[in-house]
Amino acid sequence: MENFGLLMQGFAAALTPMNFLFCLLGVTVGQFVGVLPGLGPVAGTAMLIPLTYGLDPIPSIILLSGIFYGAMYGGTITSVLINVPGEGASVITCIDGYQMAKQGRAGHALGVAAIGSFVGGIVAVLSLTFLGPSLAKYAMQFGPPEFFSLMLFGLLLLVGLIGKSIIKGMIAAIIGMLLALVGQDPGTGAERFLFGQLELLGGIDFVVLAIGLFGLSEILSNTEENMELNRPEKIGSLIPPRSEWKASLMAILRGTGIGGILGLIPGTSASIASLMSYSLERKVSKSPDRFGKGAIEGVAGPETANNSYAGAALIPLFTLGIPDSPTIAVLLGAFIMHGLTPGPLLYQKNPDFIWAVIASMFIGNFLLLVMNMPLAKYWARIALIPYKLLFPIILLVCMVGVYSVNMSLWDIGLTIAFGAIGYCMKKWKLPSAALILSFVLGKKIEFALVQTLAGSENGILVLFQRPVSATLLTLCGIILAFGLYTTIMNKYRDYLATDETA
């Protein structure tokens, strides 16, 4: 009941004209980012962080989180109408969504996706409302050893789950952590890794790294893609026929569950949630052969799952300060920039902030429902803005945005370098998600470790003397062993296949 009262106070704050305007702006930009192919939620959120510098923390985070969950809604429209996923999590929606559009049922696909997204999003925010504070209270008992192990666990889980090779995941994660150490040692003030450049004394700015690795590298990758788009299919009625209601509802409920659970697990992503939901729908269907030919469950389930994921993924961030996906890492960077430290203390120290942001998510999801039901056809037209017009403007906005952070041309130069490195990392299959996540956590991990060791008489053994920390570190060992085994087996299979071909 206490949470409900606090949530109501949050609504009062989120509904002030200024905050409401930023919520509207955030979800609109998010929808825009989701609709535009070649610009995902990570890049979109990273690019817009600099614009929030002059704002207070509440409207800033309302705006940025609006972009994050808004992008999940937007990606559906292009998937259904022109068979191009606006962002990764909507790839799976193309399969049945576009088939439905070709059969003249685009409206049904968009309608059920919007309703599913709304249900998934709202249930996830309700979980954040009622589960978050209890989890934060439990996490209050954690000391530096537990936090160190927890962050290491989250990071290893991500490294283990993304990509085919745990070695490459670990390489990316370690480079990210080393980049986070550039600047001054927080304990002694000693200079580290400046390489003769005084501009690095304050460290590498998160915005510089995020825009380079995700924004610029995405534009460079797009030079290899055909960015010309089809004309959108006609929309028609948005409400599916009564005969499809039950199937859609069940898919929405299952999608909500899958997204909600996966959102709590570090290393997963909205794309995995969509994919798992699609597989489940196929498995439970009495006629799986309909999938790929316009099955409404193939749209309802995955679209619900990715939105439910987006909301649930905020729970580990708000309660533990652990980002479990690249977009959340970008949000964590924004929190830190605005002087907020996500984690258990956030609920105690900044209740006004946290409840206003949570309330804004209810409002944002409602605004997105309105935007996606009657206004879908207008959004589809936005997707047709020629890429050749859009990308130079995006590049310019990135550069001005980066410059505005520290008024530094050096930062733009560094962004260009990170953009080129980010592109190469994609080619080398080194996961940039692991790099950005470890960069965000790098200093926190070092700080927790130094605190642990400074207060310990048993050195590193203290990490194994506390039950939570010991359990998490054991799990880390299991993930590492399993990841190494999988990597070696993959390599061995590839080697055998190459040998046979030769």
Out of 32, 353, 423, 439, name the contact with another protein by CB under 8 A. Answer: 423
Asked if residues 227 and 433 have their Cβ atoms less than 8 Å apart, the reply is no
Kindly state the smallest distance separating residue 53's Cβ from another protein, in Å.
Answer: 7
CB nearer to another protein: give 126 or 450.
450
Helix (H, G, I), strand (E, B) or coil at 204: coil
φ, ψ for residue 294 (rounded to 5)? 110, 35
Write down the least CB distance from residue 29 to another protein, Å.
Answer: 14
Q: Contact between 18 and another protein (CB under 8 A)?
A: no
Q: Nearest distance from residue 423's CB to another protein, in Å?
A: 7
| Nearest alpha-carbon partner for 323 in 170, 435, 446 | 435
- Measured N-to-C along each axis, helices 409-428 and 387-406 cross at an angle, to the nearest 10 degrees, of 130
Nearest to 298 by CA among 100, 121, 149, 106: 100
The span from the first CA to the last CA of the chain, in angstroms, equals 69
Q: Which of 63, 22, 48, 64 is nearest to 400 (CA)?
A: 48
Question: Residue 97: which of 193, 240, 194 has the closest Cα?
Answer: 240
Q: How far apart are CA 347 and CA 318, in angstroms?
A: 8
Answer whether 421's CB lies under 8 Å from 216's CB.
no
Of 83-91, 200-208, 280-288, 400-408: span binding another protein (CB under 8 A): 400-408
Question: In which residue are the tokens 């409602």 written?
Answer: 366
* Between 174 and 249, CB nearer to another protein: 174
Stretch that binds another protein, among 126-134, 258-266, 346-354, 399-407 (CB under 8 A): 399-407
Q: Pick one of 229, 373, 385, 395: the residue that binds another protein (CB under 8 A).
A: 395
The stretch among 119-127, 302-310, 368-376, 383-391 that binds another protein (CB under 8 A) is 383-391
| 47 lines the binding site for another protein (CB under 8 A) | no
> What does the H/E/C string look like for 106-139?
HHHHHHHHHHHHHHHHHHHHHHHHHHHHHHHHHH
Indicate whether 21 belongs to the interface with another protein (CB under 8 A): no
Q: Are 49 and 89 in contact (CB under 8 A)?
A: no
CA-wise closest residue to 228 among 378, 88, 393, 383: 383
Location of structure tokens 């980012």: 33
Q: 413 or 477, CB closer to another protein?
A: 413
Closest approach, Cβ 271 to another protein, in A, equals 19
**Binding positions for another protein, 224-243, rule CB under 8 A:** 224
1 binds another protein (CB under 8 A): no
With CB under 8 A, what is the number of residues at the site for another protein?
A: 62
Residue 406 interacting with another protein (CB under 8 A): no
Stretch that binds another protein, among 128-136, 159-167, 200-208, 305-313 (CB under 8 A): 159-167
Per-residue DSSP letter, 407: T
Helix (H, G, I), strand (E, B) or coil at 475: helix
State yes or no: residue 54 binds another protein (CB under 8 A): yes
Does the protein bind another protein through residue 393 (CB under 8 A)? yes
* CA separation for the pair 24, 66 (Å, rounded): 8
Q: Return the SS3 of 192.
A: strand
Tell me which residue of 315, 328, 371 sits closest to 64, measured CA to CA: 328
CB-nearer residue toward another protein: 72 or 421: 421
**Beta carbon of residue 178, minimum distance to another protein (angstroms, whole number):** 5
Binding residue for another protein, selected from 403, 470, 471, 480, defined by CB under 8 A: 403
* Among residues 175, 322, 367, 380, the one that binds another protein under rule CB under 8 A: 175
Q: Tell me how many helices (H) and strands (E) the chain has.
A: 23, 2
Would you call 141 helix, strand, or coil by DSSP? coil
CB 2 within 8 A of CB 39: no
395/468 with CB nearer another protein: 395
Contact positions with another protein (CB under 8 A) in 446-475: 446, 449-450, 453-454
Least distance (Å) between residue 288 CB and another protein: 31
Nearer to another protein, 304 or 452 (CB): 452
Q: Supply the minimum distance, in Å, between the C-beta of residue 69 and another protein.
A: 24
State in angstroms the smallest separation of the CB of 220 from another protein. Answer: 5
Q: DSSP 3-state assignment of 184? A: strand
Q: Rounded to the nearest whole angstrom, what is the least distance from the CB of residue 389 to another protein in the complex? A: 7
Restricted to residues 176-205, the positions that interact with another protein (CB under 8 A) are: 177-178, 181, 185, 187-188, 190, 192-193, 195
Q: For residue 426, how many C-alpha atoms fall within 13 Å in the half-sphere facing its CB?
A: 17
Least distance in angstroms from the C-beta of 55 to another protein:
9
Q: Which of 1, 198, 389, 461 binds another protein (CB under 8 A)?
A: 389
Q: Which residues bind another protein (CB under 8 A)?
A: 51, 53-54, 164-165, 167-168, 170-171, 174-175, 177-178, 181, 185, 187-188, 190, 192-193, 195, 219-220, 223-224, 386, 388-389, 391-393, 395-397, 399-400, 403-404, 407, 409, 412-413, 416, 419-420, 423-430, 446, 449-450, 453-454, 491, 494-495, 498
